[in-house]
Structure 1
Amino acid sequence: MPKPSKGARLGGGPAHERLLLNNLAAALFEHKRITTTFTKAKRLQPVAERYVTFAKRGDLASRRRMLGVITDKGIVHELFAEIAPQVAERNGGYTRITKIGNRKGDNAPMAVIELVLEPVTPKKKAAKPAAEKAAAPVAEETVEVVAEETPVVAEETTEVVAEEAAAEETK
């Protein structure tokens, strides 16, 4: 038996909530950004992200599954043909929620939920861990200082540093 979500449902029963979220997702895909209450935006975010993930697959089964929840064929086509290729490089985080203050009539907290369609910029990975980077410059500095004083000690220090580096590589 599926476990119901915590807290009060949006609008009534589970079927009504599912329809409400599907309609909000359809509006989001059609307009690329919508203004709604903060609670509805928070409940919509995982639903919309799951639908975009289906669209990124791009196969017939995913398209038919989306046609089962979003009844407008034009919106499903736009999701598969326009939105999915724009977020193909993104591994998640297809939506963004921004709070915009409270509604005038009933003071409900409002938010804008929008699709993140900007190209993703990958983070650069470090070539070596920080511990190895810190150890390497220290060893080189000691070689230089000793080399200035006496050449014989510099050769011995270089051999010791080389042995330590070889021992670290075998670990």
Structure 2
Amino acid sequence: MRHRKSGRKLGRTSSHRKALFSNMVAALVRYGRIETTEAKAKELRSIADRTIHWGVTVSELAAKQPSELSQDERAKVVHAKRMARRVLKDTDALDKLFAEVAPQLSGRPGGYTRVLKTRTRRGDAAPMAFIELVSLRGAA
């Protein structure tokens, strides 16, 4: 029985899943919208929202110069960057998350991504979907 076992395994080992989702979150932050299978998109949604939330919580502090911040505020920014870094291994995507994406999404109380079902993939008939950042829909 799979009671209380959340998450899809997607036919991968745990390390492969971590790497897959890390790369997918980086692509989502970089491009604003990616196409993947529906199952991967639904799993990615929670991981991406959690990672983006770390940027949103300190977006007003990260916009200031480090010299303007108190010791506690600097510690909050460093902590948030380290927590987001656990998922987002790509430094360019991490910088973009804190510099561009998080300030745009700072007014939202959550739900930073949306999943849009699109088509079935030719070849294996897998249901495909777009996952995109909510505020960047027109720009992508």
TM range (shorter): 0.7 to 0.9
The structure that has the greater radius of gyration is 1
Unaligned runs of 5+ in 1: 119-171
Which residue of the partner structure matches residue 6 of structure 2?
5
Structure with greater proportional helix content: 1
Check the 8 A contact 2:22/2:89 in 1, yes or no. no
Q: Please give the secondary structure, in 2, of the residue aligned with 1:114.
A: strand
Show the counterpart of 2:79.
Answer: 61
How do 1:39-118 residues align onto structure 2 when only pairs under 5 Å count?
39-58=39-58, 59-117=77-135
**Per chain length, whose mean CA-contact separation is higher, i.e. which structure has more relative contact order (CA < 8 Å, sep 6+)?**
2
3-state SS of the aligned residue for 2:21?
A: helix
Instruction: Structure 2: state its 5+ residue gaps.
Output: 59-76
Q: Equivalents in 2 of 1:93, 1:65: separation in Å?
A: 19
> Take 2:114 and 2:90, find their aligned partners in 1: how far apart are those partners?
24
Give how far 1:66 is off. 2.0
Post-superposition Cα deviations, 1:26-49, rounded to whole Å, max 9, x if no partner, equal 110011000000000000000000
Kindly report the root-mean-square deviation, in angstroms, between the aligned alpha carbons of the 2 structures: 1.5
TM-score (norm 2): 0.76
Task: Render the CA deviation track for 1:27-79: whole Å, top value 9, x for unaligned.
Answer: 10011000000000000000000001111123111112222322221110100
Amino acid aligned to 1:86: Q
What is the aligned-residue identity percentage? Answer: 41
Taking structure 1 as the reference length, what is the TM-score of the superposition? Answer: 0.63
